[in-house]
């Protein structure tokens, strides 16, 4: 059996390892779209902060790991897939497969403004991006960052640890608005401002020019901000372009069934690029987080090897550390129609807990400054546990979440 895996992020690497275990004699080719050993993007913030060296970002630390498992690494990018002939165009050659996994992840969304191609305009998504930032970021380096989403927030600590002068532009007015309600978002903003980050809300650039080696970022309100680096962090899009004409059904990402198989038999997808069903809402969606990529890589590989395995559905949860402040969002944190909510807020201590109920179940939550309840929240929400008497107790005091978990989850309520 010939397995080809496109993409050597967490989804691709775990899939290759799972295939090797399930099918010891198979031919496994892992196509790596970037130079160097497979690495984890999640480790980039630690690299920026100087906590680890580049080798610390590698997904597997042993240099012989892939050779030992007889997983062939091919440094190239796929440019087309022919699902009739069962071949992939990769770096000028045609690679035949019996089963194909697409695990090509996502890439930074591109802002459509003049000057976005100038030197000094930068994303923070790949190891190359991190190297470019590290080469330039010194005490006093002026960084104007567009966007304060998950990645925009998670990299701030690394940037500030270099002593840079950081200004963040937030178009919507709310930081991490895709995972936080306005109260939580406002707390994050105050926290960041107290740490010296300048945050300009309801602001977006209209264009960037370069004058004498310095970027000039023109804002919609007429102001112009000088910058040594313009960091564009406005979201991500799945890497799908090379699938044009392949016949594989695409929506926002690659549409997959509960076995993570695409619309074309023998072609599977996993990770940021796959659009699977959400375990709470039943709707299909992208879920661009590493734990999801790892689990999907494993399940897709088992199915590819003929060992039926079901993906139980994506679960939306994000845990974010922004300059030391931990926040999280789970499930339907915006609430559900006809649902109820309860919250506990301590602005001074930066502690906030917002619970959203759907009948007697917990449907979602936002937290700021609560680190010890993450497992309990996840368990109750993902498990769709009936809360019984604990519903009213949590409505009265949301901080009782751990007691509710222990009682309700073990059916002693
Ligand atoms: C700075 C940063 C911090 C993050 N922090 C967290 C965090 O704390 N927690 C969390 O859960 N998630 C985090 N993420 C998100 C997480 O990294 C992704 O969800 C995860 O990497 C997805 O894994 P993947 O294998 O699907 O895709 P990726 O890791 O993106 O890997 C995709 C691979 O496919 C390759 N590729 C792309 N196109 C092609 C092609 N045409 N041919 C061949 N190969 C191709 C790419 O080069 C890459 O090797 C972070 C991301 C960034 C950038």
Q: Whose CA is nearest to atom 44 of ligand 1?
A: 33
Numbered ranges of CATH 3.50.50.60 in the chain = 2-107+237-304, 121-234
Ligand 1 pocket, residue 271 CB under 6 Å: yes
Cβ 31 under 6 angstroms from ligand 1: yes
Buried b / exposed e over 356-380, threshold 16 CB at 10 Å, is bbbeebbbbbbbbbbeebbebbbbb
- Ligand 1 pocket test: which of 52, 290, 297, 299 has the largest number of ligand atoms within 8 Å of its C-beta? 290
- Dist. CA 352–CA 348, nearest whole Å: 10
Determine whether the shortest distance from the Cβ of 303 to ligand 1 is under 6 A. no
Token pair 């060992």 is found at 307
For residue 123, the CA-to-ligand 1 centroid distance in Å is 14
Q: In a structure prediction context, what are the per-residue pLDDT tens digits for the chain, which is 413 residues long? A: 999 999 999 999 999 999 999 999 999 999 999 999 999 999 999 999 999 999 999 999 998 999 999 999 999 999 999 999 999 999 889 999 999 999 999 999 999 999 999 999 999 999 999 999 999 999 999 999 999 999 999 999 999 999 999 999 999 889 999 999 999 999 999 999 999 999 999 999 999 999 998 999 999 999 999 999 999 999 999 999 999 999 999 999 999 999 999 999 999 999 999 999 988 888 999 999 999 999 999 999 999 999 999 999 988 899 999 999 999 999 999 999 999 999 999 999 999 999 999 999 999 999 999 888 888 999 999 999 999 999 999 999 999 999 999 987 665 44
What topology does CATH give the domain 324-412?
Enolase-like; domain 1 (3.30.390)
Q: Is the CB of 313 under 6 A from ligand 1?
A: no
CA of 274 to the centre of ligand 1 (A): 12
Q: From the CB of 108, is ligand 1 less than 6 Å away? A: no
Atom index in ligand 1 nearest the CA of residue 321 equals: 8
Structural tokens at position 234: 């406005």
pTM over 0.85: yes
| Residues sharing a CB contact under 8 Å with residue 409, sequence separation 6 or more, in sequence order | 379, 380, 383, 385
DSSP one-letter string for 99-164: EEEE---EEEPPP-STTTTSTTEE--SSHHHHHHHHHH--TT-EEEEE--SHHHHHTHHHHHHTT-
Distance CA 260, CA 385 (A): 26
For the Cβ of 242 lying below 6 angstroms from any atom of ligand 1, the answer is: yes
Question: Ligand 1: which atom is nearest the Cα of residue 272?
Answer: 26
Q: What is the 8-class DSSP label of residue 58?
A: B
Residue 372 Cα to ligand 1 midpoint, Å, equals 27
Cα of 319 vs centre of ligand 1, distance in Å, is 17
Q: How many A from CA of 240 to the centre of ligand 1?
A: 14
All CATH 3.30.390.30 domain ranges of the chain, comma separated, are 324-412
| Architecture of the domain made up of 121-234 | 3-Layer(bba) Sandwich (3.50)
Ligand 1 atom at minimum distance from 126 CA: 53
Of 15, 92, 239, the residue with max ligand 1 atoms within 8 A of its CB, to mutate for a pocket test, comes to 239
Domain range 2-107+237-304, CATH class: alpha beta
């Amino acid at each position: 059996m010939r397995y080809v895996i496109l993409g050597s992020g967490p989804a691709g690497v775990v899939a290759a390892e799972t295939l090797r275990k399930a099918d010891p004699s198979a031919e496994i080719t892992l196509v790596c779209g970037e130079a160097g050993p497979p690495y984890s993007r999640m480790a980039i913030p630690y690299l920026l902060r100087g906590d680890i060296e580049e080798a610390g970002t590698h997904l597997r630390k042993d240099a012989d790991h892939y050779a030992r498992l007889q997983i062939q690494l091919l440094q190239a990018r796929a440019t087309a897939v022919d699902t009739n002939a069962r071949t992939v165009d990769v770096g000028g050659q045609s690679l035949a497969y019996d089963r194909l996994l697409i695990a090509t992840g996502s890439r930074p969304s591109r802002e459509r403004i003049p000057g976005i191609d100038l030197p000094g305009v930068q994303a923070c998504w790949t190891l190359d991006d991190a190297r470019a930032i590290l080469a330039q970021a010194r005490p006093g380096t002026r960084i104007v960052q567009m966007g304060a989403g998950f990645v925009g927030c998670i990299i701030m600590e690394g940037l500030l640890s270099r002593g840079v002068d950081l200004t963040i532009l937030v178009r919507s007015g709310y930081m991490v608005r895709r995972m936080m309600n306005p109260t939580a978002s406002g707390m994050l903003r105050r926290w960041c401002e107290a740490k010296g980050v300048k945050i300009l809300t309801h602001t977006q650039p209209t264009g960037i020019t370069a004058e004498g080696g310095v970027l000039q970022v023109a804002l919609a309100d007429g102001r112009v901000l000088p910058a040594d680096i313009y960091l564009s962090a406005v979201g991500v899009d799945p890497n799908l372009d090379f699938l044009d004409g392949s016949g594989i059904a695409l929506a926002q990402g690659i549409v997959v069934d509960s076995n993570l198989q695409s619309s074309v038999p023998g072609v599977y997808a996993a990770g940021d690029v796959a659009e699977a069903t959400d375990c709470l809402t039943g709707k299909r969606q992208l879920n661009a987080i590493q734990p999801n990529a790892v689990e999907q890589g494993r399940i897709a590989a088992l199915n590819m090897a003929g060992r039926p395995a079901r993906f139980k559905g994506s679960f939306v949860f994000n845990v974010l550390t922004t300059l030391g402040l931990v926040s999280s969002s789970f499930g339907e944190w915006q609430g559900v129609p006809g649902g109820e909510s309860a919250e506990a807020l301590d602005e001074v201590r930066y502690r906030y807990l917002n619970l959203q109920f759907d009948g007697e179940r917990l449907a979602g939550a936002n937290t700021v400054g609560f680190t010890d309840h993450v497992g309990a929240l996840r368990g109750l929400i993902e498990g769709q546990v009936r809360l019984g008497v604990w519903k009213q107790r949590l409505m009265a005091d949301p901080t009782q979440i751990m007691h509710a978990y222990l009682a309700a989850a073990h059916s002693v309520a």
